[in-house]
């Protein structure tokens, strides 16, 4: 969005500067010349950025697989290429956010491994949730769908977001129907102890030290305590979840096909 709005902002700024400029005709001509130069430079920079993005996207798309291809089989349940590509795109985005190149040889290898591990882990957890009898009712699916829609100003914007994500209403409903039993299972079966005051203090001291080093202001412990407590407990749950998946995998039959 910034890339599209930037030339428009520059154009509006140029209009304002011209209106507030000198009455001298020569000054006006110079201003117009400078404005045109700025617009050309901005347009050129935008075009170059667009080309770089397109080139990167082509490289990222090459990592995708045939949607109908079976990428793995977990306890006789097949994982499709379409599922792989969806998780792959998320993994690629995460790697880019951390300033890493997902198209490098090492990056591509890491992404493939992470994507497969994520898919296998999710499948094992969903299978475990199903065995435990966790389900999603129609009312629960509709409620979560309504909560998602609330994030958008209109139905049109919601549909546009779905399209951009490569989804339709049916696919979204299916994902919600899977997500609810998964969430119930994790909440009920993966229990962790509350973060202690000592753990919270230790974490706060680390944050405070980092802020001090970079010259930033630090909030008081009392203000940050709820946030730190939640973050520490989420970390504990994530660590326990990873171990739980490892245990499930010991008794599972996993066949990777790519």
Instruction: Give the integer Cα–Cα distance in Å for 177 and 160.
Output: 22
Burial of residue 146, with CB atoms counted within 10 A of its CB: 0-12 exposed, 13-18 middle, 19 or more buried: exposed
Instruction: Give the integer Cα–Cα distance in Å for 217 and 21.
Output: 41
For the chain, state the CA radius of gyration: 25
Q: What beta strand segments (E) does 89-132 contain?
A: none
pLDDT of residue 29: 53
Instruction: Please give the model's pTM, rounded to 2 decimal places.
Output: 0.69
CA 114: distance to chain centroid? 14
pLDDT of residue 243: 93
Q: What is the pLDDT of residues 57-88, one digit of tens each?
A: 888 989 999 999 999 999 999 999 988 998 89
Q: Which of 40-44, 175-179, 184-188 ranks highest by mean pLDDT?
A: 184-188
Q: What is the pLDDT of residues 192-217, one digit of tens each?
A: 999 999 999 999 999 888 888 888 88
Q: Which is higher by pLDDT, 255 or 51?
A: 255
pLDDT of residue 224: 92
Range with lowest mean pLDDT among 39-53, 99-113, 150-164, 183-197: 39-53
pLDDT of residue 136: 93
pLDDT of residue 116: 93
What's 60's DSSP letter?
H
Q: How far apart are the first and last CA of the chain?
A: 36
Binned at pLDDT 50, 70 and 90, residue 159 comes out as: confident
Instruction: Give the integer Cα–Cα distance in Å for 107 and 119.
Output: 18
Query: What would the mean pLDDT of 166-194 be, rounded to a whole number?
Result: 88
Q: Which is higher by pLDDT, 27 or 21?
A: 27
Q: If you search the block for the tokens 């995708």, which residue do you land on?
A: 64
Q: What is the pLDDT of residues 97-148, one digit of tens each?
A: 888 888 898 999 999 999 999 999 999 999 999 999 999 999 999 999 999 8
Percent above pLDDT 70 for the chain: 86
Quote the mean pLDDT of the chain: 82
């Amino acid at each position: 969005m910034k890339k599209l709005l930037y030339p428009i902002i520059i154009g509006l700024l140029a209009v304002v500067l011209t209106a507030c400029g000198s009455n001298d005709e020569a000054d006006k001509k110079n201003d117009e010349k400078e404005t045109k130069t700025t617009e050309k430079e901005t347009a050129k920079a935008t075009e170059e950025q667009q080309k770089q993005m397109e080139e990167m996207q082509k490289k990222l798309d090459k990592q995708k697989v045939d949607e109908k291809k079976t990428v793995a089989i977990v306890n006789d349940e097949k994982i499709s290429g379409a599922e792989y590509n969806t998780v792959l795109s998320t993994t690629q985005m995460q790697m880019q956010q951390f300033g890493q190149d997902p198209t490098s040889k090492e990056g591509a290898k890491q992404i493939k491994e992470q994507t497969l591990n994520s898919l296998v882990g999710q499948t094992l957890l969903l299978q475990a949730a199903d065995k435990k009898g966790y389900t999603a009712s129609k009312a629960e699916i509709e409620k979560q769908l309504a909560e998602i829609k609330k994030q958008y100003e209109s139905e049109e914007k919601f549909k546009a977001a779905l399209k951009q994500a490569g989804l339709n209403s049916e696919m979204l409903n299916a994902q919600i129907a899977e997500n609810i039993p998964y969430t119930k299972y994790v909440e009920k079966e993966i229990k962790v102890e509350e973060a202690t005051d000592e753990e919270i203090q230790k974490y706060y001291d680390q944050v405070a030290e980092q802020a001090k080093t970079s010259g930033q202001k630090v909030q008081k412990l009392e203000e940050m305590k709820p946030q730190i407590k939640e973050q520490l407990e989420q970390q504990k749950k994530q660590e326990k979840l990873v171990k739980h998946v490892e245990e499930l995998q010991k008794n599972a039959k996993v066949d990777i096909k790519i």
